[in-house]
Structure 1
């Protein structure tokens, strides 16, 4: 099984890339985590609908065929770390690749968001894009560590 983080945005700051890389290398070979960054649509005189549609097309172009699509959405379901661990265990049992999609500055196209298999939120707070990427991969690692009985997570 593979986890794919699809993030709309530009280059991450060095601190965020370093933190992301640190967590990404901790995952075992049987649970790979990759990231695909898709370009943010330039605003110009385009409408919000046009911007989101262009970004949706870029996202769909990098999604693996048949994958489970999980979007990060401020209106999504809040999960505890334990609940995310259970979710990850379920995904692994299904043995289907999972794409976790982080939208750009304007979010995700409403139809794409609604069509996703699942909508989750990382926080009730508004997070900077780079921090959301780091928080997501850290929580995925923490979820894996709980399932593996690794001492990284303590209660």
Structure 2
């Protein structure tokens, strides 16, 4: 299975990059992992809604250019379906058993995802009603994908 994470912006903080590297290394025994970052747009403080929508559209167009039509596309969105860890594991396993060989998880920038990206996605997944920094969300997502593979492999994982 190939797992791609499409995300907006580069991570500058060493501690986030170290965590991403660690989970990427752990996942290498279970799947082929790809992290694809697209450029983010500068967002002024207190930007009007119209400008925020333009920014999301520009970032969204960059994400759409990286989306694989054959992949299962899962947008991370606050209004998405909430799953527990075994539920995510079952979803990844079910996708593989149904012949899907590529899953793309899509993380927006600080303003979230454009409507175009949300419409082009096959599923929406929410980790919480809370908002997390998009840099942190990459680490949380990688940890949960790793945990999903541990669960489906019947290996112990920390509860």
TM-score normalised to the size of structure 1? 0.90
The Cα of 1:110 is off from its aligned counterpart by 1.6
Q: Tell whether 2:65 aligns with 1:61.
A: yes
Distance 1:28 1:115 in 2: 28
Three-state SS of the structure 1 residue aligned to 2:109 is coil
Q: Shift in Å at residue 153 of structure 1?
A: 4.1
Q: Which moved more, 1:36-45 or 1:98-107?
A: 36-45
Matched position secondary structure for 1:66: coil
Kindly report which structure 2 residues correspond to 1:41-80, keeping only aligned pairs within 5 A, or say none: 41-43=41-43, 47-80=51-84
Stretches of structure 2 lacking an aligned partner (at least 5 in a row): none
Q: CA RMSD in A?
A: 1.9
Runs of 4+ in 1 over 6 A off after TM superposition: none
In 1, Cα distance between equivalents of 2:29 and 2:157: 18
- Residue of 113, 122, 146 corresponding to 1:108: 113
Of 133, 141, 149, the match for 2:146: 141
Preserved CA contact (<8 Å) 2:38 2:62: yes
Where 1:151 maps in the other structure, the secondary structure is coil
Offset, 1:30: 5.3
What is the CA–CA distance in structure 1 between the aligned matches of 2:71 and 2:12, rounded to whole Å?
25
Aligned residues: 154
The residue matched to 1:42 in structure 2 has which SS? coil
Distance in 1 (alpha carbons) for counterparts of 2:145 and 2:73: 15
Choose the corresponding residue for 2:100, options 85, 95, 101.
95
Q: Secondary structure of 1:83's partner?
A: helix
Q: How much has 1:52 moved relative to structure 2?
A: 1.4
Q: Calculate the TM-score normalised by the size of structure 2.
A: 0.88
